[in-house]
Amino acid sequence: MNIWPLRFRDLGRGSLLFADDAGGFFKGTEDFLDRYALNALTDEDQAFLHEGGHTFQRELDLSYLGFAYRWCARQAPRRQLGYVILVPTLRCNLTCSYCQVSRAPEGARGFDWTEDTLDAVLAFIGGLAAPEIKIEFQGGEPLLRLDLLERVRDFCRQRFGKAEFVVCTNLQAVSAEAWDYLAAPDTFISTSLDGDAVTHQRQRTRSTELTNAFFGNLDRAIEQFGSSKVSALPTIDIERPPAVDEIISSFVDRGLRSIYLRPINHQGFARRGRDPDVGLDRWNAWHAAFIEHLIERNFRTGTILEEYYFSQCLKRVLRAGADEHVDLRNPNFFASDYLVIDHDGVLYPTDEARMQSRIGRIDLSVGHVHHGIDTEKVATLNAASCNNFDPDCIHCPYQPFCGSDLVDDISRYGRIDLPKQATWFCRRHTSLFDKVFELLYRRDEATRFSLSRWADLESWPEHLVREHQ
Amino acid sequence: MIPLRFAARSSQPEPFVMRLNAEVRAYELDRTGLRTEFDGDLVEVAGQRLTYASPRGTLVIEGTTAEEVDGDVVLALPGGRAAQRLIRATSPHNTFLITERCDQLCLMCSQPPKHHHADLLPFFEAAALLAPAGMTIGISGGEPLLYKAALLPMMQRVLTHRPDLGFHVLSNAQHIDEDDLDPLVGMRDRVLWGIPLYAADAATHDRIVGKSGAFLQLMETLPIFARAGASIELRTVIMRENAALLARLASFVIMHLPFINRWALMQLESIGFGRQNWDRLFFDHSTEFTPIADALNIAKARNVEAVLFNFPRCTVPQPYRDRAPSTISDWKRRYLGECSGCQERDICGGFFEWYPEDRGFQRLARI
Ligand code: SF4
Ligand code: SF4
């Protein structure tokens, strides 16, 4: 019998997590590890491994093909460009504390698409092969150029079988025309809601008047369009996080059930003098406590709230194909299924890459809308976009579930060759997956209630996760 | 029940295939130049007696209307006293019974095997070529692959001539080997293979299918289907025999058969051996859904699509109802008194014609 290589990690109290390259995993003991390492597996060990799909007898037998299929399903990259992030203007009517680089003052000139750029953008989108398209309008504040939004939407609606639009807006000043625009069933709103009103004001709006305007608009949007058309993302300053209960009630009271907690990512001069990893341990601990809070609350109330990113990690552990989140995929090929077009027509693989380029740290642009994608540069970036062969990740049981984010490494450390365990990305995901596996092996009803709903199951089935004595 | 056979009078003692065309269809065939030698046009109607004439012979069919059978393909049976409907033009449920022979003897077989075999393959081929556009045709038995040497080339020919058609083959998959890889590859997007697996352990599976070594043979043949990239619908009839083992089977499926297109969990059909052994086999999921829920959730957690076949919707707990599509073929489907006024009747498959009401589901209530 052949055993696919197993990686392992100490889970404490004498037990270890074992996982193979295809994402099959189980909990085992130190004794089992000894037997595995010393090639002294018992018949029971072998039967257990065989049942779990960790072995094969000969090439191309059923177990072999099952493993190969599961491995391939996890690697299969999305190859059709069908998601385009557009920055029609860099101008904004707010000055959020941590957003110095991706904005220009509201009255500035030269930060909007020209007529020429608009034409090129439409020609570029029109040339895509995908049958469906998703457009995300970013900024700056995209509602400042409602005219451009209208023209892009009109074009996409007639060009594609299905088109969806997300407007990432601060909901600060919404004109009557903008409300009409947002009312369309194919158009969605994404905004920021930094927990409670006090925090939101401190980090974003700065004045009570603006804060009230924002909450007024947010409530109106939800009331008028329903909570399924609105998503709100809190950006958390781990040095001054709002109270967990406050965050939750800001969301629940508005009928919002998915909360995507993001730590502030300082950019440009706001970062100078800061240790790039300040607050990481605090963040991990705070986030884990937030998850526990949700579990307790969900069980008590019988309703479900999720932390979006945690659910994403959970789904990635359980199955292939949970690739919706662009920062958590492997391989994470650049400019393959989504792309950013900046206010000046420059193409970037991600929004973060756009910021890094803007502050002059490194030029991560991958072409221009006039000339198309620079495939050579994309290939260079792609060479570093898999975790499969990373000298640290190959030893990590979380590798099949984890992703790779080389732009984040560049942004924080200016290089991509640090030992993984020294990076924010790795330490954050190690902590996240530790939490996922801790919960997967808990047996209490409260945990199972939340886990099942987060994984889109009706209830938590016995025997879903395996344990070897 | 919708009749699959009519009393008939044929001008020929030998069997032959005819497509039945009422007036509009006949004109259309002339206009488009698509008329074939198998096309028979309606020439006389006398009450419920319809006379059709084709270059191959004349056929009088009794007990139906010209609208009802318009576009159907029938086989005038030997002796010329009856006509079998091979293709019903308006139905999605058309199945060719390739043979009644089988090398397994399943506890719940709905069509217990017989030794006698009549080769109707050439008639099926003609009928398939006359099928309405876009149809998926069922191929069943007995065990159809006992005749794979003739069947696979026949399917290939039909699929080549009719790029719009597909097949859904029900086979025990015991008779595929390396040599069949090429034909399987050639048909992979157009043929769905319905293959039964009843348990993750050889003893239980073999006992249910009445053939020792069947499980091991499947472990040899399933990889061939997988390597060909064939579309597979794994089928598991749930019985008392295997209900408690379902979660284990689910774990087996997600790890060793993750490439299947879907996994069908099926309720028992009370006909053939299923009727004889009903009391011993019937597992009433309406009072005990947990093993099925576990299997569905294990599959869903790992991205394997699992569906419930032949499950009346009201017997399924609400959160799982959407996985119970209407699957009982129209010609053998019925509803109970209970169903009148039910809001989900239109999307519910109801019951088999031969469902034993007094020994069936304990929990049934219109929705
Ligand atoms: S980045 Fe870290 S957590 Fe992720 S696979 Fe690599 S070593 Fe593991
Ligand atoms: S009452 Fe009849 S129609 Fe309604 S769900 Fe039950 S079986 Fe189906």
pLDDT in tens, A439-462: 999 999 999 999 999 999 999 998
Could you tell me if B197 and B205 are in contact, meaning their C-beta atoms sit under 8 angstroms apart?
yes
Give, in order, the Cα–Cα distances in Å from B341 to each of B160, B325, B350, B361: 46, 19, 13, 19
Nearest neighbour of B222 by CB, restricted to A62, A70, A464? A62
- Please state, rounded to an integer, the average pLDDT across all residues of chain A: 91
Chain B residues whose beta carbon lies within 8 Å of the beta carbon of residue A51: 200, 251-252, 255
Partners of residue A53 in chain B, C-beta under 8 Å: 255-256
Interface of A with B in 41-80 (CB under 8 A): 51-53, 60-66, 69-70, 73
Q: Whose CA is nearest to atom 5 of ligand 1?
A: A399
Q: Would you say the C-alpha torsion B265, B270, B276, B282 has a positive or negative sign?
A: positive
Q: Is 60 exceeded by the pLDDT of residue A270?
A: no
* Disruptive mutation site among B255, B261, B296, B318 for chain A (greatest number of A CBs within 10 Å): B255
B350 CA distance to ligand 2 centroid (A)?
A: 6
Is the pLDDT at B21 greater than 70? The verdict is yes
A458–B320: do the CB atoms touch at under 8 Å?
A: yes
Instruction: Name the DSSP letter for residue A203.
Output: I
Whether pLDDT at A100 is above 80: no
**Residue from B181, B216, B297 to probe the interface with A (highest A Cβ count within 10 Å):** B297
User: Measured between beta carbons, which residues in chain A are less than 8 angstroms from residue B252?
Assistant: 51
Which carries the bigger pLDDT value, residue B300 or residue A94?
B300
The pTM is what? 0.92
Nearest atom of ligand 2 to the alpha carbon of B312 = 7
Q: What is the pLDDT of residue A98?
A: 65
Report the run of H or E that residue B233 belongs to, with start and end.
Answer: strand B231-237
Residue B90's identity, in one-letter code, is T
Whether residue B300 and residue A457 make contact (CB cut-off 8 A), yes or no, is yes
Identify the DSSP state of A32: H
Evaluate the CA torsion angle B342, B345, B348, B353 in order and state its sign.
positive
* B244–A contact, CB cutoff 8 A: no
pLDDT over 70 at A276, yes or no? no
Q: Where are the alpha helices (DSSP H) in chain B?
A: 23-32, 121-129, 148-161, 181-186, 202-209, 214-227, 246-256, 273-276, 278-281, 290-301
Contact across the interface for A52 and B255, Cβ inside 8 Å: yes
Percentage of residues in chain A having pLDDT higher than 90: 67
What is the reported pLDDT for A336? 83
pLDDT number for residue A104: 82
Q: Which amino acid is at A467?
A: E
B345 lines ligand 2 (CB under 6 A): yes
pLDDT at position A266: 65
The predicted-structure confidence for B179-209, as pLDDT tens digits, reads as follows 999 999 999 999 999 999 999 999 999 999 9
| Nearest ligand 2 atom to alpha carbon B351 | 7
